[in-house]
């Protein structure tokens, strides 16, 4: 079945009893048990709820995995999946991970005796070098946030196999429409479903899918034990969003491509990061492992002052934290998504003061270009800033 059909018909996303075209919202915390000796499928809603089960089945099907899980947020999915590890374990982590993941790993999980090494995962050999005798897993985000570095998932999975490591991939930027890491050898896929999967900036949610049943059983134990589950109304909203995932991404990706090309040619922009640009260093790998380049791009205007001027002048995009919505969203990683990261760590990752992340929505691309065009006019000159900087450093 093709993806466009699968998002609509891939799973039993209708109510088996009434035939309703949309799964009902089971706003029930507990389920009556008919027989003491034969517990029903559902007993307590943290352990399982029919509405959540429908979403979990849907995402497992789309990612090509055995078992799906819905969590209260993307971070709840990430913190739950990391519970697969124990004190003393070591995990190799892609260095450009989302700031919230970085914060969780370095300020919460570190206190629990789990150590991590951050590496530039776009360099496959760097991943291999970081492996120690206590390494138990590799955690990837590709393309990375916000500079869109690409990791060769299959190559990393081959290394992981040799060392018997779990490979976990945050697939938020790509969604299963463009990239299915489990098919490339990964063991667990994670989503902030708040983003493209939900797609409407109206629900915070996380998803995880395991490739095999045994790992699924372990993660189920954690999901039920820790209880960071997704509420039923939110499950329903995510499923509703999922139905238009392909249609939305087709438009948004096309827009992102056009914007990337337009920005690349614009004199006020110092650099553009988008894997769809042939000069992007990860372009080839991305094209080989994914069927699309996605709707997120970043660009550098050169300084914080210029970024601020741009943010003040744009009219269409929402200036906000988050991405992957019907509305185009502009974010400033330094104070938003990556604020949780220390300044020196940010600088090392190329998250400069002039960097702006754009998540293309469904507006008409020409309207977006017009808006960006007017916002980029008369920015404080780049040259002057360079001169000031020099003067400052001389002083």
Partner 1 sequence: MHLETKLVQAGVGKDEKTGAVNFPVYYATAYRHPSLGQSTGYDYTRTANPTRSVLEVTIAEAEAGDAGFACASGMAAVHTVMGLFSQGDHLIVSLDLYGGTYRLFEQLLSRYGLTFTYVDLRDIQKVADAIRPETKAIFVETPTNPLMQITDIREVVQLAKNHELLAIVDNTFMTPYCQRPLELGADIVLHSATKYLGGHNDVLAGLIVTKGAELSEKMRFLHNSIGAVLGPQDSWLLVRGMKTLALRMERHEANAFAVAAKLKEHPAVAEVFYPGLAEHPGHDVQKSQASGFSGMVSFRVRSVEQVGLFLQNLRIVSFAESLGGVESLCTYPTTQTHADIPQEVREYVGVCDRLLRLSVGIEHPDDLIADLTQALDASLVVGGALR
Cα gap 239→59, rounded to integer Å: 9
Q: Among 2, 340, 49, which Cα is nearest to 176's?
A: 2
Least distance (Å) between residue 278 CB and partner 1: 32
Q: Is 46 a catalytic residue?
A: yes
Q: How far is the CB of 90 from partner 1 (least distance, A)?
A: 14
Binding string, residues 64-93; x marks residues near partner 1 by CB under 8 A: -------xxxxxxxxx---x--xx------
Alpha helices in the chain (DSSP H): 3-9, 50-63, 74-81, 99-103, 124-130, 153-163, 175-178, 213-226, 232-242, 245-264, 283-289, 304-313, 343-348, 365-376, 382-394
- Closer residue to partner 1 (CB): 113 or 381: 113
Which residue stretch of 2-10, 29-37, 208-216, 363-371 sits at the interface with partner 1 (rule: CB under 8 A)? Answer: 29-37
Please report whether residue 312 would count as binding partner 1 according to CB under 8 A. Answer: yes
- Which of these is catalytic: 26, 98, 139, 178? 98
**What is the rounded CA–CA span in Å between residue 139 and residue 146?**
16
**22 interacts with partner 1 by CB under 8 A:** no
Q: Which of residues 342-381 bind partner 1 (CB under 8 A)?
A: none
Does 206 help bind partner 1 (rule: CB under 8 A)? yes
Q: Which two tokens stand for residue 261?
A: 């090309």
Backbone φ and ψ for 182, nearest 5 degrees, come out as -65, -35
Q: Which of 53, 174, 229, 379 binds partner 1 (CB under 8 A)?
A: 229
Nearer Cβ to partner 1, position 51 or 275? 51
| Long-range contacts formed by 111-116: CB under 8 A, 24+ apart | 112/87, 113/86, 113/87, 113/88, 113/89, 114/82, 114/85, 114/86, 114/87, 114/88, 114/89, 114/90, 115/89, 115/90, 115/91, 116/90, 116/91, 116/92
Length of the chain: 395
Indicate whether 98 belongs to the interface with partner 1 (CB under 8 A).
Answer: no
Distance, CA of 302 to CA of 323 (rounded, Å): 22
In whole angstroms, what is the distance from residue 257 CA to residue 259 CA?
5
136 a catalytic residue = no
Restricting to residues 243-302, name those near partner 1 by CB under 8 A. none
Question: In 3D, which of 373, 358, 363 has the Cα closest to residue 148?
Answer: 358
Least distance in angstroms from the C-beta of 387 to partner 1: 23
Residues 322 and 209: their CA atoms lie apart, in Å, by 22
Residue of 89, 120, 170, 300 with catalytic role: 170
For the segment 146-205, give every residue that binds partner 1 (CB under 8 A).
Answer: 194, 198, 201-204
**170 among known catalytic residues:** yes
Output 110 or 288, the one with its CB closest to partner 1.
110
Q: Contacting partner 1 (CB under 8 A), which of 13, 190, 230, 368?
A: 230
Q: Does 58 bind partner 1 (CB under 8 A)?
A: no
Our finding on whether 132 is near partner 1 (CB under 8 A) is no
- Of the pair 35, 344, the CB lying nearest partner 1 is at 35
Our CB check for partner 1 shows the closer of 125 and 217 to be 217
- # binding residues, partner 1 (CB under 8 A): 70
Nearer to partner 1, 111 or 394 (CB): 111
Cβ proximity to partner 1: between 90 and 180 the closer is: 90
C-alpha 254/C-alpha 275 separation (Å) is 13
Please give the Cα distance from 255 to 360 (Å, whole number): 6
| Least Cβ distance, residue 48 to partner 1 (angstroms) | 11
| Cα(329)–Cα(312) distance, integer angstroms | 14
- Cβ neighbors of 290 (< 8 A, separation 6 or more) are 174, 178, 179
Cβ(92)–Cβ(131) below 8 Å? yes
Which parts of this chain interact with partner 1 (CB under 8 A)? 27-37, 39, 43-46, 71-79, 83, 86-87, 100, 103-104, 107-108, 111-114, 194, 198, 201-204, 206, 221-222, 225-231, 233-234, 237, 307-308, 311-312, 318-322, 325, 329, 332, 335-336
Active-site positions read: 46, 98, 170, 195
């Amino acid at each position: 079945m093709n993806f466009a059909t699968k998002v609509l018909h891939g799973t039993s996303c209708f109510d088996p009893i009434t035939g309703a075209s949309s799964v009902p919202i089971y706003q029930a915390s507990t389920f009556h048990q008919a027989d003491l000796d034969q517990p029903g499928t559902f007993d307590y809603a943290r352990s399982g709820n029919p509405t959540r089960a429908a979403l979990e089945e849907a995402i497992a099907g789309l990612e090509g995995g055995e078992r799906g899980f819905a969590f209260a947020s993307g971070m709840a999915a990430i913190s739950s999946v990391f519970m697969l590890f124990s004190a003393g374990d070591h995990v190799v982590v892609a260095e450009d991970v989302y700031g919230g993941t970085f914060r969780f790993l370095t300020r919460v999980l570190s206190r629990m005796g789990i150590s991590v090494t951050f590496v530039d995962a776009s360099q496959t050999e760097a991943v291999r070098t970081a492996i120690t005798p206590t390494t138990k897993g590799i955690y990837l985000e590709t393309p990375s946030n916000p500079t869109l570095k690409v990791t060769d998932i299959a190559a990393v999975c081959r290394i992981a196999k040799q060392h018997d490591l779990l490979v976990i991939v945050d697939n938020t930027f790509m969604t299963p429409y463009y990239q299915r890491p489990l098919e490339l050898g990964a063991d667990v896929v994670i989503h902030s479903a708040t983003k493209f999967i939900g797609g409407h900036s109206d629900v915070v949610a996380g998803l995880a899918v395991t490739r095999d049943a045994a790992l699924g059983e372990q993660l189920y134990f954690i999901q039920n034990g820790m209880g960071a589950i997704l509420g039923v109304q939110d499950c329903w909203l995510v499923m509703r969003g999922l139905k238009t995932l392909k249609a939305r991404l087709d438009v948004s990706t096309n827009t992102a491509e056009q914007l990337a090309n337009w920005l690349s040619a614009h004199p006020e922009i110092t650099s553009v990061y988008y894997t769809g640009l042939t000069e992007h260093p990860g372009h080839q790998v991305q094209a080989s492992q994914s069927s699309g380049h996605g709707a997120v791009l970043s660009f550098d205007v050169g300084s914080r002052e210029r970024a601020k001027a741009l943010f003040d002048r744009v009219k269409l995009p929402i200036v906000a934290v988050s991405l992957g919505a019907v509305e185009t969203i502009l974010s400033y990683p330094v104070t938003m998504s990556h604020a949780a990261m220390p300044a020196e760590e940010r600088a090392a990752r190329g998250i400069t003061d002039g960097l702006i992340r754009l998540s293309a929505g469904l507006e008409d691309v020409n309207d977006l270009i017009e808006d960006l065009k007017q916002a980029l006019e008369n920015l404080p000159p780049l040259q002057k800033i360079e001169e000031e900087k020099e003067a400052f450093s001389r002083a």
